[in-house]
């Protein structure tokens, strides 16, 4: 019996001798490594989730963001025109009408000289930013600032006045043309223009004056067809242009109106207002942050619980295995 006990003791001593001093820290090192990996996986998953939420929310949020800036641009323009004296507004309107008269007499109005381009850019530029007024379209609840020209920069955020056409201040022998994008994921702009019908109205607001037009012609043409934009003697026209069909943009939708007296009842359409758009944007940002935070916390708890179960069981199994070796 003593010999058997001595043999076990000798075997135990031999086993203990085979264990290297550094072997005792391996479980702790493994724990730290696993914990670091867990944190990395939680971070990656959270970033991926936030990115997915961002992609889902981008079109809506971007549209709100642009509409907020559009509403501020219109509000700033209105405030600026109110600060002008009556004489200043009258002088600017007179300059615009004189510009339209010269344009109607110009046989090559689509090709401007540098001097003509400078004159165009300076006329009706109240704020120095290129905004000449704004357009309202009650049926589709659109209120957009109108800027000089139709550059990509302008059309991404607002409506653009087509150079070579009359300025939108009304008058005989004029034809003002304003263009805007349709179907952009980042901005509504003139999306819905195809819903207008004959008899609907739209209006330009320039220097505290309103010019109302009633739709009398709706056409779809190729981009190269510009005959319907001609200035007709004695007529007072305005045309809104956008691309069509959605996503293809191979043609242009032209919605033309003729000038009518301003309605006696003020337009009561609920357009975007700066304060309301700011509140909506703040609410959306807050909601996204809240959802992302909840998702991050929930994901972290899920990963950590999974890690504890997995590694806790492994640790227990290791302890039992170690006890078995020792006898």
pLDDT digit string, tens, across residues 236-293: 999 999 999 988 999 999 999 999 999 998 887 877 665 555 555 566 666 666 666 6
pLDDT digit string, tens, across residues 35-62: 666 667 666 766 776 666 666 656 666 6
Domain coverage including residue 190 = 56-267
- Whether residue 219 is preceded by a cis peptide bond, meaning omega within 30 degrees of 0, is no
Q: Measured between alpha carbons, how far is 58 from 153 in angstroms, rounded to an integer? A: 20
Q: Is residue 95 part of a domain?
A: yes
Strand locations in 67-171 (E):
131-137, 142-148, 159-161
Q: Is residue 72 part of a domain?
A: yes
Q: Is residue 302 part of a domain?
A: no
pLDDT at 27: 58
Q: Measured between alpha carbons, how far is 75 from 89 in angstroms, rounded to an integer? A: 17
For residue 314, indicate whether it is catalytic. Answer: no
Among the listed residues 243, 294, 314, 321, the single catalytic one is 243
For 10, residues 6+ apart whose C-beta sits below 8 A from its C-beta are: none
Q: What is the DSSP letter of 134?
A: E
Other Cβ atoms within 10 Å of 282 Cβ, number = 10
Say if strands 174-179 and 159-161 run parallel, antiparallel, or are unpaired.
Answer: antiparallel
Q: Measured between alpha carbons, how far is 237 from 172 in angstroms, rounded to an integer? A: 9
Lowest-pLDDT choice from 198-207, 251-260, 314-323 = 314-323
Spatial CA neighbour of 53 closest among 289, 280, 286, 283? 289
Spatial CA neighbour of 53 closest among 297, 294, 292? 292
What are phi and psi for residue 179, nearest 5 degrees? -120, 150
Lowest-pLDDT choice from 27-36, 110-119, 133-142 = 27-36
For residue 161, indicate whether it is catalytic. Answer: no
Q: Is the dihedral of CA 52, 54, 57, 63 positive or negative?
A: negative
Q: Is residue 68 part of a domain?
A: yes
Q: Measured between alpha carbons, how far is 216 from 170 in angstroms, rounded to an integer? A: 16
Beta-bridge partner residues of 209:
206
CA distances from 117 to 105, 185, 251, 317 (A): 16, 32, 27, 83
Q: Measured between alpha carbons, how far is 290 from 215 in angstroms, rounded to an integer? A: 46
pLDDT category of residue 321 using cuts at 50, 70 and 90: very low
- Domain at 191, CATH number: 2.40.260.10
The total number of structural domains in the chain stands at 1
Q: Is residue 315 part of a domain?
A: no
Other Cβ atoms within 10 Å of 242 Cβ, number = 24
Q: Measured between alpha carbons, how far is 196 from 188 in angstroms, rounded to an integer? A: 16
Q: Measured between alpha carbons, how far is 157 from 283 in angstroms, rounded to an integer? A: 22
Q: Is residue 282 part of a domain?
A: no
Residue 324: pLDDT over 50: no
Q: Is residue 219 part of a domain?
A: yes
Q: Measured between alpha carbons, how far is 131 from 126 in angstroms, rounded to an integer? A: 7
Q: Which residue has the higher pLDDT, 74 or 279?
A: 74
Q: What is the mean pLDDT of the chain?
A: 82
pLDDT at 273: 65
Q: Measured between alpha carbons, how far is 107 from 97 in angstroms, rounded to an integer? A: 18
CA distances from 148 to 88, 192, 255 (A): 20, 23, 20
Beta-bridge partner residues of 204:
135, 211
Other Cβ atoms within 10 Å of 302 Cβ, number = 12
Q: Measured between alpha carbons, how far is 215 from 255 in angstroms, rounded to an integer? A: 7
Q: Are 221 and 228 in contact (CB under 8 A)?
A: yes
Q: Is residue 180 part of a domain?
A: yes
Spatial CA neighbour of 165 closest among 239, 94, 77? 239
pLDDT at 268: 79
Among the listed residues 111, 181, 251, 314, the single catalytic one is 181
Residue 326: pLDDT over 50: no
Q: Measured between alpha carbons, how far is 177 from 168 in angstroms, rounded to an integer? A: 8
Q: Which residue has the higher pLDDT, 233 or 17?
A: 233
């Amino acid at each position: 019996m003593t010999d058997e006990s001595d043999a076990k003791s000798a075997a135990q001593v031999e086993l203990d001798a085979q264990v290297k001093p550094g072997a005792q820290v391996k479980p702790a090192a493994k724990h730290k490594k696993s914990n670091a990996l867990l944190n990395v996986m939680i971070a990656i998953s959270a970033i991926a989730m936030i990115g997915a939420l961002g992609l889902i929310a981008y079109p809506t949020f971007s549209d709100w963001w642009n509409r907020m800036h559009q509403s501020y641009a219109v509000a700033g323009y209105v405030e600026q025109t109110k600060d002008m004296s009556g004489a200043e507004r009258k002088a600017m309107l007179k300059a615009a009408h004189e510009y339209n008269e010269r344009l109607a007499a110009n046989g090559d109005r689509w090709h401007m000289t540098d001097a003509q381009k400078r004159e165009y850019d300076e006329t009706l530029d109240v704020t120095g930013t290129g905004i000449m007024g704004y357009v309202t379209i009650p049926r589709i609840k659109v209120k957009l600032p109108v800027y000089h020209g139709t550059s990509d920069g302008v059309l991404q955020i607002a409506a653009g006045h087509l150079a070579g056409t009359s300025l939108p201040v009304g008058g005989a022998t004029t034809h003002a043309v304003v263009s805007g994008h349709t179907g952009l994921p980042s901005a509504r702009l003139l999306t819905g223009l195809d819903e207008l019908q004959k008899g609907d109205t739209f209006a330009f607001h320039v220097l505290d004056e309103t010019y109302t037009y009633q739709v009398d012609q709706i056409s779809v043409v190729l981009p190269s067809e510009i005959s319907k934009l001609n200035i007709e003697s004695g007529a007072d026209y305005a045309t809104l242009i956008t691309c069509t069909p959605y996503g293809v943009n191979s043609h242009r939708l032209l919605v033309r109106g003729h000038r009518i007296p301003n309605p006696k009842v003020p337009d009561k359409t609920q357009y975007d207002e700066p304060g309301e758009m700011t509140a909506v944007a703040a609410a959306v940002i807050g909601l996204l942050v809240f959802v992302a935070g909840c998702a991050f916390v929930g994901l972290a708890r899920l990963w950590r619980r999974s890690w504890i179960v997995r590694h806790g069981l492994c640790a227990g199994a290791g302890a039992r295995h170690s006890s078995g070796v020792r006898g």
